[in-house]
């Protein structure tokens, strides 16, 4: 995502304030990224929150739901892989030793 498109208007009035505590490592990473972007850390946090909240509802679905259209779409060449998968995995592990 191109962050220049999300340039925060510095003159915009912020109506709400939120105070958060960050682990030292995360705080350091935030300050470094803000410096790289030549922005204040608060601007970077606003951009990150804005991007996070734009995540489509679908991504909140269970992992199986997110890949449902992929299930069965690949051909392994092994006709009984679904029913004998454990046997194939064990056989493969023994060969690797």
**How many domains in the chain?**
1
Residue 39 to residue 81: CA distance in whole angstroms: 53
Report yes or no on 96 lying in a domain: no
Domain containing residue 46: 3-72
Question: Does residue 90 sit within a domain?
Answer: no
Q: pLDDT tens track of the chain, all 97 residues?
A: 444 444 545 556 778 999 999 999 999 999 999 999 999 999 999 999 988 888 665 566 787 787 888 877 778 888 888 889 899 889 888 887 6
Asked if the structure places residue 94 within a domain, the reply is: no
Residue 42 domain-assigned (yes or no): yes
Compute the distance between CA of residue 43 and CA of residue 6 in angstroms, rounded to an integer: 10
Please return the burial class of 65, using the count of CB atoms within 10 Å of its CB with bins 0-12, 13-18 and 19+: exposed
- Residue 91 domain-assigned (yes or no): no
Residue 66 in any domain: the answer is: yes
Is 92 contained in some domain? no
Which residues does 59 contact at the CB level (< 8 Å), separation at least 6? 66
């Amino acid at each position: 995502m191109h962050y220049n498109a999300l340039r925060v208007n510095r003159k915009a009035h912020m109506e709400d304030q939120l105070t958060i505590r960050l682990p030292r490592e995360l705080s350091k990473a935030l300050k470094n990224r803000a410096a790289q972007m030549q922005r204040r850390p608060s601007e970077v946090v606003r951009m990150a929150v804005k991007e996070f909240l734009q995540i489509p509802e679908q991504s909140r679905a269970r992992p199986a739901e997110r890949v449902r259209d992929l299930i069965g779409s690949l051909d392994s060449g092994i006709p009984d892989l679904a029913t004998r998968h454990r046997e194939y995995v064990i056989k493969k592990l023994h060969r690797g030793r």
